[in-house]
Amino acid sequence: MNFLFKLLGTGISIGAGFAGTKLVNGIWEKTTGNKPPKGNDDMETSLRSALTFALISASVSAVIQVLTSRGTQRAIARFAKTQDIV
């Protein structure tokens, strides 16, 4: 059953990461008025904006990863506790 929870946690993490990426991209576009810098841009973005976007994106990704990991661990613990009661 732990494998199922880990698989579910991975799926939730991927979904949350996708939603977080869309959120960061949308906020970046509304704030700066420019599309988010991507790796295939041909030097039209400044290094400062690319680094700023990378730092923001990495921070959001780290927070999402921690929150989904903690949520999965809580769900596993709660499920294990209810299994002991039953």
Please check the confidence at residue 83 and state whether its pLDDT lies above 70. Answer: no
Segment 28-56, tens digit of pLDDT: 999 999 888 877 655 667 888 889 999 99
Q: What does the CA dihedral 67, 70, 72, 77 come to, rounded to 10 degrees?
A: -160
Which pLDDT value is given to residue 44?
Answer: 66
Dig out the tokens for 83 from the structure: 């299994």
Please check the confidence at residue 24 and state whether its pLDDT lies above 90. Answer: yes
Contact 71, 12 (CB under 8 A): yes
> Does residue 69 or residue 52 have the better pLDDT?
52
